Amino acid sequence: MKFFVDTADVAEIRELAATGFVDGVTTNPSLVAKSGRKFLDVIGEICDLVPGPVSAEVTATDHKTMLSEGRKLVKIAKNVAVKVPLTADGLKTCKALSSDGHMVNVTLCFSPGQAILAAKAGASFVSPFIGRLDDIASDGLGLIADICQIYANYPAFRTEVLVASVRHPMHVVEAAKLGADVCTLPPSVLHQLYAHPLTDKGLDQFLADWKKTGQSILDS
The phi-psi region of residue 15 (left if phi > 0; otherwise alpha if psi is between -120 and 50; otherwise beta) is alpha
**Vertex 20 angle, CA 14 and 25, to 5°:** 55
Q: Please report, to the nearest 10 degrees, the dihedral formed by the alpha carbons of residues 184, 186, 187, 189 taken in order.
A: -90
* Residue 72 annotated to the active site: no
Q: Which amino acid is at 42?
A: V
Beta carbons within 8 Å of 32's beta carbon, 6+ residues apart: 8, 39, 42
Catalytic residue among 2, 72, 75, 83: 83
**Catalytic residue positions, numbered:** 83
